[in-house]
């Protein structure tokens, strides 16, 4: 095992419901770098681009919030 695996940032699945994840993505949008992010997001098997995957999840999250039927 490489030392990079031991000391690198942990891998996390992006969750649009998690406020921290949304904040980290917003910071990425401003700075255009993941350097400030304390985690690395995992690319799921149905997507080939992390940014597109996150954007789609955020769109779904905000549309559900906007048009939720209570």
Residue 45 has pLDDT above 80, yes or no: yes
pLDDT of residue 36: 93
Give percent of the chain with pLDDT exceeding 90.
79
Q: Indicate the helix (H) or strand (E) that contains 65.
A: helix 50-66
Q: Which residue, among 45, 50, 65, 46, has the nearest Cα to 14 in the 3D structure?
A: 50
What average pLDDT does this structure show over 23-33?
Answer: 97
Domain boundaries, the chain: 3-66
pTM for the whole thing?
A: 0.85
pLDDT of residue 26: 97
């Amino acid at each position: 095992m490489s030392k990079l695996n031991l000391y690198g940032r942990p891998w996390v699945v992006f969750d649009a419901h998690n406020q921290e994840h949304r904040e980290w993505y917003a910071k990425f949008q401003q700075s255009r770098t993941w350097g400030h992010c304390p985690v690395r997001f995992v690319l799921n098997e149905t997507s080939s681009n992390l940014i597109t995957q996150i954007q789609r999840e955020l769109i779904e999250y905000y549309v559900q919030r906007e048009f939720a039927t209570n």
